[in-house]
């Protein structure tokens, strides 16, 4: 496993651009990522569902049903769960863990600088790609091209 020193810090944009309950989708270093804000923390998720490869970041950010006694229904964890658009598997955005399977989302560490700039930490060269507009009618996450900064540490 690479040490933190071999990670590249890739500038995404302003942390304020990532809103609770929404996804900011970016293309960076050849990867499609979704940026989420969960409880004040930022999560960078690879846009690939570990079930059958759906663009999971196009799913819905919501809550989920909580354990409860028979005959009752409890809803909770609002804005902490990402539901895949293909088969509805639910993933905890704090850990990437699927709620009903052992598989989990691939995630990348993030950092927010004092000036409010949001970075994703990734291995390898950073090759930003231009934003790709949505081509279907479903609500799409906002996209923009991430900038890069040669900040190898």
In terms of Cβ atoms closer than 10 Å to its own Cβ (0-12, 13-18, 19+), residue 43 is buried
Nearer to ligand FES, 44 or 83 (CB): 83
Nearer to ligand FES, 19 or 51 (CB): 51
d(Cα 114, Cα 47) in Å, to the nearest integer? 28
Region from 80-88, 100-108, 136-144, 145-153 binding ligand FES, contact rule CB under 6 A: 80-88
Per DSSP, helices labelled H in 49-135 are none
CA 74 vs CA 63, 68, 78, 81: distances in Å: 10, 6, 12, 15
Does the protein bind ligand FES through residue 87 (CB under 6 A)? yes
Half-sphere exposure of 2 (CA within 13 A, CB side): 13
Which of 134, 129, 113, 106 lies closest to 44, judged by CA?
106
The owner of tokens 């500038």 is: 11
Please identify which residue in 19, 51, 62, 77 interacts with ligand FES, judged by CB under 6 A.
51
Region from 6-14, 49-57, 124-132, 145-153 binding ligand FES, contact rule CB under 6 A: 49-57
Report strand pairing: 142-145 vs 24-28.
parallel
Does the protein bind ligand FES through residue 111 (CB under 6 A)? no
Nearer to ligand FES, 49 or 126 (CB): 49
CB of 65 to ligand FES, least distance (A): 17
CB of 98 to ligand FES, least distance (A): 9
Please identify which residue in 62, 86, 109, 140 interacts with ligand FES, judged by CB under 6 A.
86
Which residues of the chain form contacts with ligand FES (CB under 6 A)?
A: 49, 51-52, 54, 56, 84, 86-87, 89
């Amino acid at each position: 496993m690479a040490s933190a020193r071999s990670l590249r810090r890739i500038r995404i944009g302003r942390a304020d651009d990532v809103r609770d309950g929404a996804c900011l989708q970016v293309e960076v270093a050849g990867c499609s990522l979704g940026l989420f804000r969960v409880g004040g923390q930022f999560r960078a998720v690879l846009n690939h569902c570990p079930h059958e490869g759906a663009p999971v970041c196009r799913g819905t950010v919501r809550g989920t049903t909580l354990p409860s006694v028979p005959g009752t229904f409890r809803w909770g964890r609002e804005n902490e769960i990402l539901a895949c658009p293909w088969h509805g598997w639910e993933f905890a955005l704090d850990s990437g863990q699927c709620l009903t399977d052992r598989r989990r989302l691939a995630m990348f560490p993030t950092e927010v600088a004092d000036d409010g700039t949001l970075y994703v930490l990734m291995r390898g060269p950073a090759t930003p790609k231009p934003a790709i507009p949505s081509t279907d009618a479903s609500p799409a996450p906002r996209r923009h091209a991430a900038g890069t900064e040669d900040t190898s540490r």
